[in-house]
Amino acid sequence: MIPTALTDEHRQIREAARQFAEREVLPHVRDWDRAEEMDRAIVGKLAQAGYLGATIAERYDGSELDTVGYAQVIEELGRADNSVRGVVSVSAGLVAKTLGRWGSEPQRETWLPRLAAGETLGCFALTEPDSGSDPGSLRTTATPTAGGGWRIDGSKVFITNGTWAGLALVFARTGEPGPRGLSCFAVPTDRPGWTARPIKGKFGLRAQDTAEVALEALEVGEDELVGALGDGFKIAMSALDGGRISLAASCTGTAQACLDASVAYAAERQQFGRSIARFQLVQELIANIAVDVAAARLLTWQAAAKADLGQRCTLEASTAKYFASEAAVRAANAAVQVFGGYGYVDEYPVGKYLRDARVTTLYEGTSQIQTLIIGRHLTGESAFA
């Protein structure tokens, strides 16, 4: 089940993604982080490389990678900059992949080629100010209209690509309280009633477009319902399984970047007349990072391989996301320690790794939520009951 080595095709995908990231992303990371905004030209470059179409079938002009191959792309982008990685993992992963699975044929034909080409980006409008770990309690409502469509009212927060996106998957309540009353809609964001405001001053992922969204009498047609009425919670949870594999891959990339930076710096930095790489406790810090990288990578590949077999991978995705996100924080914290005072200055990369890694233990299910999911699968008992 667990691939311990990549196929030739997957190695080629990984190497191409690494070269792309080193050429198009790494030279700009510090400036984008300081400016709290990346150059939007990166969207076209990501599309040209095939990364925005990585989860989209070829018949809709996508590059159609399998999950293991997609994880290689995400790991390399995460190794370079998690803000850029977020553009891909949300638009291609959460949005395009969801439409590919749950959308109607007209929805696929309308949106998937545009998403693959980078003509538009997608955002996943699920989280609300009072509904994060408990999406079943969301308050945004979709009320039937006389014309047979729906009117959506509510608010969303922490929406990646929120001000850049041309398409939003909006989750709203169409029925009874709780998860069974939720539905999903494919909504063009240029429609009256959609207002997005960028969130600035973030601790990490500073260059990533993150938004608050207001939905005020936003009208959608019956043909914009994704899946069946009441399928919203099921759609969201299925999307998050894939999203957690993607996030685990990204965190593995961040941890790998911490390892690379720590090894290189320890070899160069001199103290007490020799490089700090010769100090046992520095080697311990580096060894711990290396073990976490290897374990996170294998857990990610295990979840991705199971997804490629068409099997349910909720347990494996949660396990990989939980371990890899916590491992990325440990790796970044250790890397700052290796760098000493210089780790606290953004002239060097490791402080940013720590800031970016920290949020990965919070979104797409906190570490605590992942442990509850894992515990439920192992015991058969729900801690929420």
Q: How is residue 180 annotated by DSSP?
A: G
Measured CA to CA in angstroms, residue 171 lies from 187, 243, 272, 327 at distances of 10, 16, 59, 31
Residue whose C-alpha is closest to residue 163's, from 201, 197, 186 = 197
Pull the structure tokens for residue 202. 């973030």
Residue whose C-alpha is closest to residue 197's, from 167, 170, 168, 157 = 157
Catalytic residue annotation: 364
Residue whose C-alpha is closest to residue 138's, from 124, 155, 123, 121 = 155
Residue whose C-alpha is closest to residue 157's, from 215, 92, 237, 216 = 215
HEC secondary structure over 268-315: HCEECCEEHHHCHHHHHHHHHHHHHHHHHHHHHHHHHHHHHCCCCCHH
Residue whose C-alpha is closest to residue 289's, from 339, 241, 346, 345 = 339
